[in-house]
Amino acid sequence: MPEYQSLYRKYRSQTFADLVGQDAASRALQGALIGGRVSHAYLFSGSRGTGKTSAARLLAKALNCSGRKRDTAEPCNKCQSCLEMTAGSALDLIEIDAASNRGIDEIRDLREKVNLAPALGPFKIYIIDEAHMLTEPAFNALLKTLEEPPAHVVFVLCTTDAQKIPLTVIGRCQQFVFRRHSEDQIVARLTHIALAEEVSVDAEAMQLIARTAQGSMRDAVGLLDQLVPLAAGPISLEAARSLLGIADPRLLDTLLDNVFRGSWSRPRLRDSRSRSELLKSRKRPPRQSQPPRLPALPLGPPRRKRGRTPPRTAGR
Ligand SMILES: Nc1ncnc2c1ncn2[C@@H]1O[C@H](COP(=O)(O)OP(=O)(O)OP(=O)(O)O)[C@@H](O)[C@H]1O
Ligand SMILES: [Mg+2]
Ligand SMILES: [Zn+2]
């Protein structure tokens, strides 16, 4: 039986054109590739599941692609190097998970191997994922190599927590911030994947997934992946809600709005259990007919108080 590949891995961007959003990073990397001005060290930071590792692999692929035309940054995805990189077997692409290789020994090991020539293409690309997890001595050991790596080496540090990266490291890298995706971007991507996978998903179900994913494309595609085998036939909003066990965020919004307004009378919830719970809890806090009065802020010129010097600012 062939191994099932999760949708988010199957639909990892293999060209810059297929990388959703992240325009600044994408344009800058493509410009550098076309102009032959690729930096020796990059730092990709930002929310999880927004394309940092994908972009790092794309950069690696384009750098070592033997079929890439001079006027484009797009890898050919056909040459031996491209095929090996897609399959994850390329010797010139070294991915280090800093979460499990955090110490100085691993970085010393890296420093020794960095000088060895690449196996196939002109470059060796080191992707250090979760780079913020490196220990301080490990960062220190990396600094020298990061500053002046051999000409055939490019580092890409990826992190969801740039604040934990020492400034000395940031200063040696070109940094790009990867932004969360908008709901529209996620819906468009899900639509593309659903079409390719020949599954039918209601527009509202897409919206729910997009909203639940909170800007993470990986989470969105992962949720779709969960739904496909569970739903027999088209995926409806109700199916998406119940299968994913997610309360409709709009329902929660309405609930919160009502809480803040202090209006408990008509929570407008379709779920009768929630309503009865709400009505029960309504008895506990004494209902305030009027919101508490705040002291009025003085308007116009400050009033003089008898026997005192006038206040300097009007708002005091
Ligand atoms: N910009 C994007 N365009 C298209 N698909 C994306 C994008 N970002 C993420 N994805 C989807 O999410 C998956 C994971 O993306 P990736 O590994 O690049 O995210 P990441 O930013 O490195 O996340 P993490 O911070 O968790 O490591 C991809 O395989 C792809 O399916
Ligand atoms: Mg990653
Ligand atoms: Zn190629």
Phi, psi for residue 157 in degrees, rounded to 5? -95, 130
Ligand nearest to the CA of 69: 3
Residue with tokens 């116009």: 300
The answer to whether the CB of 77 is under 6 A from ligand 1 is no
Look at the alpha carbons of 209, 214, 217, 222 in this order and tell me if their dihedral is positive or negative: negative
Tell me, what's the pLDDT at 309? 47
List, edge to edge, every strand of the sheet that includes 153-159: 93-97, 124-129, 153-159, 41-46, 174-178
Residue with tokens 């100085």: 104
Residues 122-137 pLDDT 10s: 999 999 999 999 999 9
The answer to whether the CB of 134 is under 6 A from ligand 1 is no
Residues 249-279 pLDDT 10s: 667 788 888 888 876 555 455 555 555 565 5
Beta-bridged to residue 154, according to DSSP, are 125
Kindly indicate the confidence band of residue 185, based on its pLDDT and cuts at 50, 70 and 90. very high
Q: Are 231 and 243 within 8 A, CB to CB?
A: yes
**Residue of 313, 44, 307, 303 lying closest to 165 (CA atoms):** 44
Give me 143's structure tokens: 């600094």
List domains and CATH numbers for the chain: 7-178 (3.40.50.300), 183-255 (1.10.8.60)
The residue whose CB lies within 8 Å of the most ligand 1 atoms, and thus the one to mutate among 16, 18, 20, 54, is 54
The answer to whether the CB of 14 is under 6 A from ligand 1 is no
pTM: 0.79
User: Measured between alpha carbons, how far is 168 from 144 in angstroms, rounded to an integer?
Assistant: 10
The answer to whether the CB of 49 is under 6 A from ligand 1 is yes
User: Measured between alpha carbons, how far is 80 from 294 in angstroms, rounded to an integer?
Assistant: 72
What distance separates the 2 farthest-apart alpha carbons in the chain?
92
